[in-house]
Amino acid sequence: AQRVTQPEKLLSVFKGAPVELKCNYSYSGSPELFWYVQYSRQRLQLLLRHISRESIKGFTADLNKGETSFHLKKPFAQEEDSAMYYCALFTSGSRLTFGEGTQLTVNP
Amino acid sequence: DTGVSQDPRHKITKRGQNVTFRCDPISEHNRLYWYRQTLGQGPEFLTYFQNEAQLEKSRLLSDRFSAERPKGSFSTLEIQRTEQGDSAMYLCASRREVDAEAFFGQGTRLTVV
């Protein structure tokens, strides 16, 4: 069965510091992985997906199939990055499975 | 707003009552999902439609829960005989068949008292 693990429920960094939000997955097939973000009082929205290999708002994420990881990184965190971040796995059964989320706080 | 819309945004109900939520997906999206989210947890999959066909249901979806998408457009999620444990945010999402990106509504927050 597919599973997504985000080991850190809370993560706090200072503005300008690098940030890494961890995500590990288990899935026997070929995964499609996403990062969704939820800002305060807003709906869940897609941040990035591994197949597009884009950098959105300075965030990047690389799929490491050997380590079954899809960690989200940003070299210099900004206060507006404070939000809840969810890693999600899309499987061939068309289901999107979410991790439990990491609450990122960027302090001034 | 041409995104996914959900109604109502908030619902308070007494234990034992029935409630129904509505989701209007983005118009060209033929796939529609329902998720439930409780405090401190990620969204948990409930069920999924492709057009009007309900293709998958989670074990989380007890017999008290039923979902429909009668014409392949909007969907309803009904909870019968609500229990306090049903209190949660209920999220709807939709996507096009050819694209894996799912778009979410703002959710319906249910409180069972």
Taking the C-alpha atoms of residue A107 and residue A85, their distance in angstroms, rounded to an integer, is 17
Distance from CA of A25 to the nearest CA of B (A): 14
Q: Which two tokens stand for residue A92?
A: 């061939």
CA-closest candidate to residue A42, choices B1, B6, B34, B106: B106
What is the per-residue pLDDT for A82?
97
Q: Which residues of chain B fall below pLDDT 70?
A: 1, 98, 100
The per-residue pLDDT for range A14-45, each reduced to its tens digit, is 999 999 999 999 988 888 899 999 999 899 99
Q: What is the pLDDT of residue A94?
A: 73
Instruction: Please report which helix (H) or strand (E) contains residue A64, including its range.
Output: none
- In this prediction, residue B71 carries a pLDDT of 87
pLDDT of residue A29: 80
* Closest alpha carbon within chain A to B41: A100
The reported pLDDT for the residue numbered A93 is 62
Please name the member of B45, B101, B104 whose beta carbon is closest to the beta carbon of A49: B101
From the number of C-beta atoms within 10 Å of its C-beta (0-12, 13-18, 19+), residue A52 rates as exposed
**Which tokens sit at A16?**
């300008």
Contact B45 A96 (CB under 8 A): yes
pLDDT tens-place string over residues A47-101: 998 877 777 889 999 899 899 999 999 999 999 999 999 999 987 667 889 999 9
Q: How far is A108 from chain B (nearest CA, A)?
A: 25
B48 in contact with A at a CB cutoff of 8 Å?
Answer: yes
Mutate to test the interface with A, among B101, B103, B108, B109 (most CBs of A within 10 A): B101
Q: For residue A13, what pLDDT band results from cuts at 50, 70 and 90?
A: very high
**Alpha helical stretches, state H, A6-68:** none
Say yes or no: B40 contacts chain A, CB-CB below 8 A.
yes
DSSP per-residue codes, chain B: --S-EEE-SEEEE-TT--EEEEEE--TT--EEEEEEE-TTS--EEEEEEETTEEEEE-TT--TTEEEE-TTSS-EEEEESS--GGG-EEEEEEEE-TT----EE---EEEEE-
